[in-house]
Chains A and B, each alone.
Chain A
Amino acid sequence: MGDATREAEPRVDGKDAQVNQDVLIMEQQRQIEEEISDAIPLVGAKEDLLGTLEKEYISDPIYSMKAKDLSSKYNSIRRTRPDGNCFFRAFAYAYFERLLTCKDDYKGFYDIVSKSKDDLIELGFPQFTLEDFYETFMEVVERIGSGDMTQDELYELFNNQGQSNYIVVYLRLITSGKLQRDADFYLNFIDGNRTMTAFCHQEVEPMFKESDHIHIIALSAALNVGVRVRYMDRGDSAQVIAHDFPEGATPAVHLLYRPGHYDILYEQ
């Protein structure tokens, strides 16, 4: 498959030795992404949890068992597109959806995010472009606060690629900002001898980079929003193990993790 792609690449000035491998990888990734994006919306409709998962794991006893366990706590699931942004998009959608009805949490959240821009500029992000992302993000937050947003509109907005991705970008920046500010603490969680800034440049700020625990801890701490992740994997336990971020926080957002991907869960 990789070879076919390479041969199809036109030679530039007879210098195929100089063809940038990264460009080829990007091209192939792009093709895969396109296939995924044709098949799965950025944020899907709410689906019945047990029905959906049982169908998916009909020939898989371990996962079927876990699906049953999960359905004793949650009744619906909402899928997100597996494009590397799924944690951020699932988080944003689930929390914004909650803010539509849970007005008590709004004020605190608003205060935190409206102050975030200056912190990020101070960290060296270019103001001109940062402001564009910030304003798009705040426009959505303010619409939610003013009651000028329905469930359907939120759903549409998150499936509009431009707006949806701008929200993801801004959450990535907030995450990067938190990691850099509290680098002394977060450095304990990363492998190798990268600096925190390098880690953020490579693993947090670029779009389509998958999230790890460290991203979740930093974002939930930065926004003071509790996240419960349910881990569904091949482990022995019949239970679907829960992790809360930050530790001990009351979860406002529930996500289902299956290796490599996050979806949104809705409690009973």
Chain B
Amino acid sequence: MMAGPGPQPTGSAVRALGLEYRSLQEEPVEGFRVKLVNEDNLFEWEVAIFGPPDTLYQGGYFKAHMKFPADYPYSPPSIRFLTKVWHPNVYENGDLCISILHPPVDDPQSGELPCERWNPTQNVRTILLSVISLLNEPNTSSPANVDASVMYRRFKDSKGRDKEYENIIRKQVSAARLEAEKDGVVVPLTLEDYCRKPKAKAAEPPVDMTDFYVDDYDIGDDDDDLDMGDSDAGDDGDDSGNGES
């Protein structure tokens, strides 16, 4: 069975994660790639987020681990960056704090601005699109990294003249680009490339979800490393992930 403490994963969790993983392999979304940390475990994913063009994060390649709870999709996953990220909403240890991953418990900020919250229809796609948009639009009202938050505000208030924040980000982005090169990944730099849908993987036999049990699932072949592959022209109408606060 699954490693780690906590309650046994439910059939719903395996089913939901299997469906999502499969769908993201077949139809990757602009801006990020996913793979399993370990082929036998659907509950831990490694994701790579590309910095959106025309932002400080352009060209960046940010790796993170996503951990899903046993009662997913009723509770949200957590995200921890493996790449160093200096950001008001990222803790020093890499843990990301974002409203969409806020556990659905009573919270004292119930009067706060309406923002995306966890509900069982949220999924990896909607989460990562929110993360991409948070990168460039930090939420400074409840910072996880106070120093970064103060620095970001100075950067914003000075209309970019105070460059301390920008310099740190740019440094981290170039370090992350080296990491991408090591991984053989080409980070999309233009908006056009970024929004292009990578070519879908060669057709694989469909997985019959009704036979999808914890003990014997099979996640396709071994070639799901995070390579971009050739880009295939073609627009898709997918959500751009804007509008997240």
Does B126 interact with chain A (Cβ within 8 Å)? yes
CB distance from B109 to the nearest CB of A (A): 10
Residues of chain B from 95 to 117 with CB closer than 8 A to chain A in the complex: 95, 102-105, 107, 110-117
Given contacts A22-B102, A194-B110, is CB(A202)–CB(B117) below 8 Å? Answer: yes
Does B163 interact with chain A (Cβ within 8 Å)? no
Instruction: Choose one: A30, A129, A172; the contact of B123 (CB below 8 Å).
Output: A129
Q: Which residue of A lies closest to B14 (CB)?
A: A162
Q: Which residue of B lies closest to A12 (CB)?
A: B93
Cβ of A193: which chain B residues have Cβ within 8 Å of it? 111
Question: Are A207 and B120 in contact, with the CB atoms below 8 A?
Answer: yes
Question: Are A13 and B11 in contact, with the CB atoms below 8 A?
Answer: no
Question: Are B116 and A18 in contact, with the CB atoms below 8 A?
Answer: no
Cβ of B105: which chain A residues have Cβ within 8 Å of it? 22, 25-26, 29
Cβ of A173: which chain B residues have Cβ within 8 Å of it? 121
CB distance from B82 to the nearest CB of A (A): 14
Q: Which residue of B lies closest to A26 (CB)?
A: B103
Residues of chain B from 110 to 149 with CB closer than 8 A to chain A in the complex: 110-123, 125-126
**Of the 9-residue stretches B15-23, B35-43, B46-54, which lies at the interface with chain A?**
B15-23
CB distance from B48 to the nearest CB of A (A): 21
In the assembled complex, the Cα of A169 lies from the Cα of B74 at a distance in Å of 9
Does A161 interact with chain B (Cβ within 8 Å)? yes
Instruction: Choose one: B12, B104, B107, B126; the contact of A165 (CB below 8 Å).
Output: B12
Given contacts A129-B16, A132-B16, A201-B114, is CB(A26)–CB(B121) below 8 Å? Answer: no
Does A55 interact with chain B (Cβ within 8 Å)? no
Question: Are A23 and B16 in contact, with the CB atoms below 8 A?
Answer: no
Cβ of A106: which chain B residues have Cβ within 8 Å of it? none
In the assembled complex, the Cα of A18 lies from the Cα of B144 at a distance in Å of 9
CB distance from B121 to the nearest CB of A (A): 4
Q: Which residue of B lies closest to A22 (CB)?
A: B103
Instruction: Choose one: A12, A23, A162; the contact of B103 (CB below 8 Å).
Output: A23
Question: Are A208 and B74 in contact, with the CB atoms below 8 A?
Answer: yes
In the assembled complex, the Cα of A80 lies from the Cα of B207 at a distance in Å of 35
Question: Are B7 and A126 in contact, with the CB atoms below 8 A?
Answer: no
Given contacts A18-B91, A166-B12, A192-B111, is CB(A129)–CB(B103) below 8 Å? Answer: no
CB distance from A185 to the nearest CB of B (A): 19
Does B188 interact with chain A (Cβ within 8 Å)? no
B-contact bits for A200-220, CB 8 A (1 contact / 0 none)? 011001111100000000000
In the assembled complex, the Cα of A133 lies from the Cα of B120 at a distance in Å of 9
B-contact bits for A120-164, CB 8 A (1 contact / 0 none)? 000001101110110000000000000000000000000001100
Cβ of A71: which chain B residues have Cβ within 8 Å of it? none
CB distance from B106 to the nearest CB of A (A): 9
Does A64 interact with chain B (Cβ within 8 Å)? no
Given contacts A129-B16, A161-B12, is CB(A13)–CB(B123) below 8 Å? Answer: no
In the assembled complex, the Cα of A248 lies from the Cα of B74 at a distance in Å of 35
Cβ of A129: which chain B residues have Cβ within 8 Å of it? 16, 20, 73, 120-123
Question: Are A202 and B123 in contact, with the CB atoms below 8 A?
Answer: no
Does B92 interact with chain A (Cβ within 8 Å)? yes
Does A75 interact with chain B (Cβ within 8 Å)? no
Question: Are A197 and B125 in contact, with the CB atoms below 8 A?
Answer: no
Q: Which residue of B lies closest to A85 (CB)?
A: B74
Cβ of A194: which chain B residues have Cβ within 8 Å of it? 110-111, 114
Does B75 interact with chain A (Cβ within 8 Å)? yes
CB distance from A121 to the nearest CB of B (A): 10
Given contacts A18-B91, A128-B23, A206-B104, is CB(A26)–CB(B116) below 8 Å? Answer: no
Beyond contacts A15-B91, A165-B12: 17 other A-B pairs, Cβ-Cβ < 8 A, are A15-B92, A18-B91, A18-B92, A20-B95, A22-B102, A26-B105, A128-B23, A128-B123, A161-B11, A161-B12, A166-B12, A194-B110, A197-B114, A201-B117, A202-B110, A206-B104, A207-B104
Which residues of A approach B to under 8 Å, CB–CB?
12-13, 15, 18, 20, 22-23, 25-26, 29-30, 34, 125-126, 128-130, 132-133, 161-162, 165-166, 169, 172-173, 192-195, 197-198, 201-202, 205-209
16 A–B contacts, CB within 8 A, in A order: A15-B91, A20-B95, A22-B103, A30-B7, A126-B126, A129-B16, A129-B121, A129-B123, A133-B120, A133-B121, A192-B111, A194-B114, A198-B113, A206-B118, A206-B119, A207-B104
**9 tightest A-B contacts by CB?**
A206-B104, A205-B119, A201-B117, A198-B114, A207-B74, A162-B11, A129-B121, A162-B12, A22-B103
